[in-house]
Amino acid sequence: MSFQEILVSTAASVTTIALNRPDRLNAYTPTLANELQTAVQQAGVDPDCRVIVITGEGRGFCAGADMGVLENAVASKGTSESKPNGSAAPAGDPRFSAAPGPALGDVYAGRFGYLYACPKPVIAKINGPCAGIGLILALYCDLRYAAEEAKFTTAFAARGLVAEHGIAWLLPRLVGEANALDLLFTARKFTGAEAQGLGLVNRAVPGESLDALVDGVAQSMAKEASPRSIAVMKRQVRASYFQSFGESLAIADAEMKKSFESPDFGEGVKSFVERRPPAFPAV
């Protein structure tokens, strides 16, 4: 499939989706939003893909909503970045129904629900400026790795906007309420190094080391981890936010019984005993 504002490639079981508006620091547009959703959903059901990496072309990750689009929203009395971002993800995309991944569309509906619904692990490789809706995009990814010098900002308060697309729910869960309110209220800029200290990203490294770090993480999961296990664990964690401990434990027990009956369990044990890399089936 041909895309206008993203680049998609798959190699060694890793699908890389690069936002491709480098002259605008990959600012978000309706076209980019729709293409990104399509690419993630396609990778989610592609047996050749085991890990998805989202990054930006050039020196930026995503500098937020395109200001030209925001100006049009102001002219038409728009008050939110939600105006320019394309159609919302449908609740319960049927293409994921047969996969063992999370069917969480009803719980995580809205702009980025498709990232939580995708049964594959999604990594944000934050190579540069990450602002506004670009930051929200990164927060919906399962793992986040950043260049130490990358600049982050929530941006909303400085634009007369609010905590959009679930960031008021997501951000405190990652960095705590006090830090979340600081970042939201002040819209201050902070670096990838600080983002690591806050717990917003898994790890920050010098920019020249970012590709190697993310490649290593992605290849480790693609080669050594069961796609089925990752998909089920992703669903377990995302669903647990709305469950009691007892409910989560009961689901874990049921899933454990299913895992004992899966070919992945047999392959995992056999490959360990035989001291060879596992050959887990695709999802």
Average pLDDT (109-135) is 92
Average pLDDT (127-155) is 97
Identify the CATH class of 6-223: alpha beta
**Strand order from edge to edge, sheet including 151-153:** 130-131, 151-153, 190-191
pLDDT of residue 163: 87
Average pLDDT (154-174) is 91
What is the C-alpha to C-alpha distance for residues 93 and 137, in angstroms, rounded to an integer? 19
Domain ranges in the chain are 6-223, 226-273
281 φ/ψ sector (left φ>0, alpha ψ -120 to 50, else beta): beta
pLDDT of residue 128: 96
- Express each pLDDT in 35-68 by its tens digit: 999 999 999 999 999 999 999 999 999 999 887 7
219 pLDDT above the threshold of 80: yes
Q: What is the dihedral of CA 41, 36, 169, 98, to 10 degrees?
A: 0
**Strand order from edge to edge, sheet including 6-11:** 6-11, 14-19, 51-56, 122-126, 143-147, 203-205
Question: Do residues 116 and 238 lie in contact, with contact meaning Cβ atoms separated by under 8 Å?
Answer: yes
Instruction: Among 5-9, 99-103, 139-143, 241-245, name the one with the lowest average pLDDT.
Output: 99-103
Strands 14-19 and 51-56: parallel
- Express each pLDDT in 62-114 by its tens digit: 999 887 766 666 666 654 444 444 444 443 444 444 344 444 445 566 789 89
CA neighbor of 18 nearest in space, from 52, 45, 50: 52
pTM of the model: 0.86
